């Protein structure tokens, strides 16, 4: 059923431009854009809530061709990378293009990096833009894996896998602990990165969000405090220092700070002081100017 839904989405996206006579063509990029969600994500959550809230539509309104992948909510990047590869090959078949531009949030950046380096997809990706990807790990994972007692790990894992992964994200095979363990500082720096070298065929870009203690998503204040202590500036989930990779495009702060959820235009488009849709449009304009 899920494969049928993906195929239907691709078919609709492929034909929709035939009826979009009034849309702008300012973002007629050379290659289509694939939006890649992060940890605990899905293309759509329960009740049809988009992970990239309003982002796909904002890009399409400017003439871009945009596809949104659905991967496992909680899984290692090696598992998610295979899902991403399958999706991108379908996008290329539908569009007739030779490559895609990937814009990835959070763990989506790691999944894309793994796919490019280890699954033979370097020649099919023109660019990878990472927004707050934990390329060098996050202390949140260190705390869950290294400091919580086994009983607490089990309880959190059960809730994440069944309630969030299963119900909210619609994923039947979530593996919270494996996904979390991947993003520890130790694993990222000593295992993942050495085995996931950048490809010279792909242009890598990175951004990081930075919040200031309190944001529109108040739930991230405790995690911001923890990360501030261990890792310095952060967006409530990922340290700024960890997000730096490839061509560093800078820190996103808006007027009042930008947290991990605001980076994808949540909650529900309420991102005070930060135009999330405009940010993604500007990213796409950058890709166009760079020839992608």
> Tokens in use for 5?
């839904």
Q: Tell me what the mean pLDDT of segment 125-150 comes to.
A: 94
> Residue 164: pLDDT above 80?
no
Q: Tell me what the mean pLDDT of segment 78-84 comes to.
A: 97
pLDDT band at 15 (very low <50, low <70, confident <90, very high): very low
Q: What is the pLDDT of residues 274-284, one digit of tens each?
A: 999 999 999 99
Distance set, CA 158 to CA 72, 164, 175, 219 (Å): 16, 9, 9, 20
> Residue 97: pLDDT above 90?
yes
pLDDT at residue 166, as a whole number: 64
DSSP secondary structure letters along 45-56: EGGGEESSTTHH
Question: What's the mean per-residue pLDDT of the chain?
Answer: 90
pLDDT band at 14 (very low <50, low <70, confident <90, very high): very low
Output the CA angle 241-269-13, nearest 5 degrees. 95
> Residue 1: pLDDT above 60?
no
> Residue 84: pLDDT above 90?
yes
> Residue 167: pLDDT above 90?
no
pTM metric for this prediction: 0.89
Q: Tell me what the mean pLDDT of segment 10-30 comes to.
A: 56
Q: Tell me what the mean pLDDT of segment 145-164 comes to.
A: 79
Task: Identify the CA nearest to 263 among candidates 105, 149, 98.
Answer: 105
Q: Who wins on pLDDT, 213 or 192? A: 192
> Residue 190: pLDDT above 90?
yes
- Crossing angle of helices 107-118 and 77-95, in 10° steps, is 70
pLDDT at residue 145, as a whole number: 94
> Residue 72: pLDDT above 60?
yes
> Tokens in use for 191?
């295992």
| Spatial separation of the C-alpha atoms in residues 276 and 281, rounded to whole Å | 9
Q: Who wins on pLDDT, 2 or 287? A: 287
pLDDT at residue 7, as a whole number: 47
> Tokens in use for 95?
């569009």
pLDDT band at 216 (very low <50, low <70, confident <90, very high): confident
pLDDT band at 5 (very low <50, low <70, confident <90, very high): very low
> Residue 147: pLDDT above 70?
yes
Q: Provide, rounded to the nearest whole percent, the portion of the chain with pLDDT above 90.
A: 76
Among the residue ranges 36-45, 86-95, 189-198, 202-211, the one predicted with the least confidence is 36-45
> Residue 8: pLDDT above 70?
no
Q: Tell me what the mean pLDDT of segment 170-187 comes to.
A: 88
| Spatial separation of the C-alpha atoms in residues 208 and 164, rounded to whole Å | 25
Q: Domains along the chain?
A: 2-13+26-289 (3.40.50.1820)
pLDDT at residue 174, as a whole number: 78
For 25-61, b/e burial (b = at least 16 CB within 10 A) is: eebebebbbbbbbbbbbbbbbeeeebbbbbbbebbbb
| Spatial separation of the C-alpha atoms in residues 280 and 187, rounded to whole Å | 30
């Amino acid at each position: 059923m899920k494969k049928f839904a993906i195929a239907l989405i691709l078919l609709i996206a492929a034909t929709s431009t035939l009826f979009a006579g009034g849309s702008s063509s300012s973002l007629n990029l050379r290659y289509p854009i694939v939006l890649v969600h992060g940890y605990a994500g899905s293309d759509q959550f329960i009740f049809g809530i988009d992970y990239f809230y309003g982002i796909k539509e904002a890009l399409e309104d400017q003439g871009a061709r945009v596809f949104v992948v659905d991967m496992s909510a909680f899984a290692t990047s090696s598992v998610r990378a295979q899902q991403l590869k399958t999706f991108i090959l379908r996008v290329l078949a539908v569009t007739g293009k030779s490559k895609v531009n990937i814009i990835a949030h959070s763990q989506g950046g790691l999944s894309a990096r793994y796919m490019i380096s280890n699954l033979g997809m370097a020649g099919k990706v023109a660019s990878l833009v990472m927004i707050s990807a934990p390329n060098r790990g996050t202390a949140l994972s260190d705390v869950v894996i290294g400091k919580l007692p086994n009983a607490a790990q089990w309880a959190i894992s059960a809730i994440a896998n069944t309630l969030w992964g299963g119900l909210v994200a619609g994923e039947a095979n979530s593996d919270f602990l494996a996904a979390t363990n991947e993003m520890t500082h130790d694993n990222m720096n000593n295992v993942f990165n050495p085995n996931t070298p950048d490809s010279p065929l792909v242009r890598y870009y990175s951004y990081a969000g930075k919040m200031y203690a309190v944001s529109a998503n108040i739930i991230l204040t405790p995690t911001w405090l923890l990360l501030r202590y261990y890792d310095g500036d952060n967006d409530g989930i990922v340290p700024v220092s960890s997000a730096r990779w490839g061509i560093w495009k800078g820190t996103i702060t808006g007027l009042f700070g930008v947290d991990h959820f605001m980076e994808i235009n949540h909650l529900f488009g309420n991102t005070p002081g930060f135009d999330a849709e405009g940010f993604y449009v500007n990213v796409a304009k950058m890709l166009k100017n760079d020839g992608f």
